[in-house]
Amino acid sequence: MILLKFVVRPHHVVSLGGYIVERNFPYRNVILANKSDEPIKAEIPVFDESWIAEHRNLGLDVILVGEEDSFLSLFKKAKSDVDLIKPKESI
């Protein structure tokens, strides 16, 4: 089994829909929000539910998108939550 990692930049939100490979995984998509000031490495692909707790322990907000959920609404909410704590860039 080959595991890859990618970096979730500080104060960013990403979707992992294309990286879920387990046929019986109970969610159709996973949204990761990094609210910290540091980059966090996430393992891909997502194989099972143990992945969720492992990445929450790294400090990522893991938002699970079920069949009945609106991906766009959940993504926009996560982005809004990150933007509220994102440091303002100086001009």
Structure token digits, residue 43: 């393992």
Between CA 62 and CA 31 the distance in angstroms is 6
**71 phi/psi in degrees, rounded to 5:** -55, -45
State pLDDT tens for residues 60-76.
999 999 999 999 999 99
CB 7 within 8 A of CB 45: no
Is pLDDT at 21 greater than 80 in this prediction? no
pTM: 0.89
Between CA 86 and CA 68 the distance in angstroms is 30
Q: Delimit the domains of the chain by residue range.
A: 4-85
